[in-house]
Amino acid sequence: MTNIILPGAACTTMAEVRAGVDHVDRELIALIARRFAYMDAAARIKPERGQVRDEVRKAQVIDNARAGARAAGIPEAPIAALWDQLVEASIAYEFDEFDKR
């Protein structure tokens, strides 16, 4: 197997598919780490713990994910569910970081 990562449409073996998925997963983890760095900043910037949870902003983020999914031609509902979990994990992380201050 080579180290070349093929686009999904170019894959002809499961090894190529798996290599591509693993590569994307590594990229996703790096992006999530970048996102959590913003949660560090939010925990540092927000003056009160009660400001950590913002349901209006949560809905906006999930709506943005739905719109992005729609534009990308992928199913909206599972993406919205994933983003709900991502936002909840981000909120929990931000609470932990806020409490460490």
Euclidean distance between CA atoms 63 and 42, whole angstroms: 21
Assigned domain for 2 exists: no
Assigned domain for 46 exists: yes
Euclidean distance between CA atoms 41 and 30, whole angstroms: 17
Per-residue pLDDT of the chain (101 residues; tens, 9 = 90+): 457 998 989 999 999 999 999 999 999 999 999 999 999 999 999 999 999 999 999 999 999 999 999 999 999 999 999 999 999 999 999 999 999 98
Residue 58 marked ligand-binding? no
Assigned domain for 30 exists: yes
Residue 18 marked ligand-binding? yes
Contacts of 80 (CB under 8 A, 6+ apart): 62, 65, 66, 69
At 63, which CATH number?
A: 1.20.59.10
How many separate domains does the chain show? 1
Euclidean distance between CA atoms 12 and 63, whole angstroms: 35
Q: How far is CA 72 from the centre of its chain?
A: 16
Residue 55 marked ligand-binding? no
Assigned domain for 23 exists: yes
Report phi then psi at 21, rounded to 5: -60, -45
pTM: 0.88
Assigned domain for 80 exists: yes
